[in-house]
Amino acid sequence: MNSMAADAWATRGGAVKWPELSEGLLRLRPATADDAESWHAIRSHAGPWQSPLQSVAAARELLLAMAAEPPFTPGWRQFLLLEGADIVGDIGLNWPAYGDYAEIGFELAPAARGRGLAQRAVRLLGSWLLDSAGLLGVVAITHTDNKAARAVLLEAGLLPCADSGLAARFDLQPHERLHLMARPADA
Ligand SMILES: CC(C)(COP(=O)(O)OP(=O)(O)OC[C@H]1O[C@@H](n2cnc3c(N)ncnc32)[C@H](O)[C@@H]1OP(=O)(O)O)[C@@H](O)C(=O)NCCC(=O)NCCS
């Protein structure tokens, strides 16, 4: 464990596995190797904003490697976003990427876009990370040209913060911008 948050989680006698989160019909659950095909399909429509998965087999290998890691050890984990029974998107979580800050990345299947689902999913996971998992903040890195992702992050309550002290922890390119959802100081 490399962070205060992880220690806090352990001493709280917290969960032994990644949670499933839901709000109305929307559900976030940890991805398993059986989700490789869905994950690969969604990622193949992410355009230039996410690195593509080479194949379904490569996606499965990655999911198996993630599942082999004990929960709450540092590294990327994948969650799938469902609306009812339909898989509509995914959120990647880098736990905890930078001290007590997690990083997230997300995408929706094209048919699920334009209805605010990503914003709700980011809020859902972000609230759990801050309120239940004890992290101090959630960060996401987007290209300034990625208008939809920037709008999603701002609407979900993340603040643009390229100039914050956190930025120094990233190798930020001039065209990238860091967004931050932070626990209020008095929380
Ligand atoms: C980012 C993504 C998840 C957003 O999906 P979504 O939640 O359905 O978002 P929307 O399509 O409703 O767009 C969100 C907002 O951005 C606006 N928007 C979308 N595309 C835009 C564009 N090209 N220019 C300006 N505004 C744009 C929408 O009008 C909307 O604004 P509103 O909430 O005021 O109506 C989806 O576009 C996607 O999967 N993109 C590919 C992967 C990706 O970029 N992931 C993020 C990596 S950090």
Q: Which residue has the higher pLDDT, 168 or 87?
A: 87
Work out the pLDDT band at 144, boundaries 50, 70, 90: confident
Task: Please tell me the distance from the alpha carbon of residue 56 to that of residue 60, in angstroms, as a whole number.
Answer: 6
Compute the C-alpha angle 128/66/151, nearest 5°.
Answer: 45
HSE on the CB side for 137, CA within 13 Å? Answer: 20
Task: Please tell me the distance from the alpha carbon of residue 81 to that of residue 121, in angstroms, as a whole number.
Answer: 7
- In the chain, where does DSSP find H-type helix? 4-11, 36-43, 56-68, 117-127, 147-155
Choosing from 79, 94, 152, 181 the residue with most ligand 1 atoms within 8 A of its CB, the one to mutate for a pocket test is 152
Is 83 within 8 Å of 25 (Cβ atoms)? yes
117 within ligand 1 shell (Cβ under 6 A): yes
Nearest residue by C-alpha to atom 37 in ligand 1 = 148
Task: Please tell me the distance from the alpha carbon of residue 53 to that of residue 57, in angstroms, as a whole number.
Answer: 9
12 within ligand 1 shell (Cβ under 6 A): no
pLDDT surpassing 80 at residue 75: yes
75 within ligand 1 shell (Cβ under 6 A): no
Top mean-pLDDT range of 5-14, 69-78, 101-110: 101-110
Task: Please tell me the distance from the alpha carbon of residue 184 to that of residue 93, in angstroms, as a whole number.
Answer: 21
Q: Provide DSSP, 44-94.
A: TTSGGGSPPPS-HHHHHHHHHHHHHSPTTSSEEEEEEEEETTEEEEEEEEE
Structure confidence by residue, pLDDT tens digits, 106-125: 999 999 999 999 999 999 99
DSSP state at residue 124: H
24: left (phi over 0), alpha (psi -120 to 50) or beta: left
What is the position in ligand 1's atom list of the atom closest to the CA of 118? 7
